[in-house]
Structure 1
Amino acid sequence: MLDAEVYRDDLVRLGLHKIAHQDESLIDHMFRVCSILQDMKAKEQVCVAGLFHGVYGTEGLHNDDVESIPDHRRAEVRRVIGPEIEQMIFNFSVMSYASLGKSFRNVMRPKGVPELKDRRTGEDIPLEREQFLDLLRMKLGDVLAHLPQQVGHTVLDVPTEYAGFWKTAAEWLGPDAISTWNKTTSITGGQLWIDPEEI
């Protein structure tokens, strides 16, 4: 099992402990995403990508400089986690959320293929079906990590706000994703519960 703590110094060196992310630091959010992905039994490379998913920003947050992610920054991240995981993080950072939804609808069809788009250029991000499902799983972990940890929070309750889409994604990703969804959303008093017997 991945020991995410071995990457803490690298994340600090990249400056992620200094970035605010809603009601916490970005680094704390990224550790929670990694933990959720581990609970979901995601592949280790997906868990590591989840741990680093905010290093370049995303469409939703910290995306001011996404147009010009410097090559030296990408090289620095590649040295820490390798080229395959870095590419996954880069794709996660530059993808448009609209194309994520469209791609998911496509892959729900037997021969459907993802049509993920780079939100900066509108160009296709070429992905195999399994690579797309890894990104979808990583985004589900990110969404669940945005669930408010306590009553009286000041953050957007992303899972509840977009529950229809993300419940369907959890169901599509299988029993481990459903189990993690149910554990993580239990704070809602069962409003977002997925009954595994009905799948």
Structure 2
Amino acid sequence: MLRMNTTLRPMSCAARRGAARALSKAAQDYAVTPYRLIAHASESQRAAWAERDLILHSEMRKHVPAALKHNGEEAFDHHLVGVQSVLRSWGAPEYMTNAALFHSIYGTEGFQGFALPLHHRPEIADLIGPRAERLAWIFCMVDRHSVDRTILAPWALDPSVYVHKPPSFFARPELGGFEIPLRTYDEWLDFLALSLADWLEQVEGTANKEVPLPVGEGLLWELGQAWGYRRHAYAKMAELLGERGPPWGRQNAPRMYAEIFAREPQSSRSFVQPLTPPMSQSAIDARNALKYAHMAYDVA
């Protein structure tokens, strides 16, 4: 079992500096950089986070090979730490920042280069806490279009709708499309915050290059097109979090969204890609199965 050790020996100065670098990677001059660096935090706060993260980051890297590349420009484990840093810069609680660090651990709709087998769920929950693990699990299982339907619904800004009856998401088709009922309105908002932080951390870097399809020939995104991925949904997430989100995200999430997307060039602002392209052969097969499930001649 993976367990947090609460009796860590004090870190050496060199180890503390290394952990601080891992907390927030120095990258190119992107709008996200101050968030990755948690620029507003004091040195003592950064040192405390580095101490706390020593085991978490070590365990994360055991399960996510550093050689894997994410859709962005840097190693996948750096992206995970980057999302953790973004949420810390927003003032998010620990269960959210822990979820961020493991948000793709089981593979996701958008990243299937690595997936920890699901029988490890209890171990991950033991390591980061059940609430954080559940958010990470949902992030990995979910069909993102089912998330976007809850966001873009006309009643999404009316809290009376989801407060009393939280919405459901659905799993990716290749996983069976099972229902994922959310437990509370707050869990829905937490998931939106995690989703938005994940994309804001990587979108500018991803948009600055061509991204090949993970299966087959051709490009997933031409230069600049990543800006348009789920464009309306991410804009709505920022709006929802600004109006209805938890206190720690109510100003920070929409402000960061505005800062990041202010960097988008005019040339890509009309491009919209509402759905995630299939990232594996199993995803292609599942979508084809749904597409061709009802033919005209099937009717009795």
TM-score range for the pair, normalised by the shorter chain length: 0.7 to 0.9
CA-based RMSD = 2.7
Residue 166 in structure 1 maps to residue 234 in structure 2: yes
Greater than 4 Å deviation, 4+ residue runs: 63-66, 189-192
Structure showing greater radius of gyration is 2
Runs of 5+ unmatched residues, structure 1: 193-199
Say how many residue pairs are matched: 189
User: Residue 177 of structure 1: CA displacement?
Assistant: 0.9
Residue 124 in structure 1 maps to residue 179 in structure 2: yes
Q: 1:126 is aligned with what amino acid? A: P
Q: Is the 8 A contact 1:96 1:117 kept in 2?
A: yes
CA distance in 2, matches of 1:45, 1:65: 21
TM-score by structure 2 length?
0.56
Task: Name the % identity.
Answer: 23
Match runs of 1:85-124 below 5 Å: 85-104=132-151, 105=153, 107-109=156-158, 110-112=160-162, 113-119=166-172, 120-124=175-179
CA distance in 1, matches of 2:103, 2:121: 13
TM-score by structure 1 length?
0.80
CA distance in 1, matches of 2:263, 2:77: 23
Q: 1:75 is aligned with what amino acid? A: P
Distance 1:84 1:152, change over 3 A: closer
Q: What is aligned with 2:195? A: 139
Distance 1:90 1:187, change over 3 A: same
User: Residue 65 of structure 1: CA displacement?
Assistant: 5.5
Q: What is aligned with 1:11? A: 60
Match runs of 1:168-187 below 5 Å: 168-174=236-242, 175-187=251-263
Partner of 1:173, secondary structure, is helix
Q: What is aligned with 1:82? A: 129
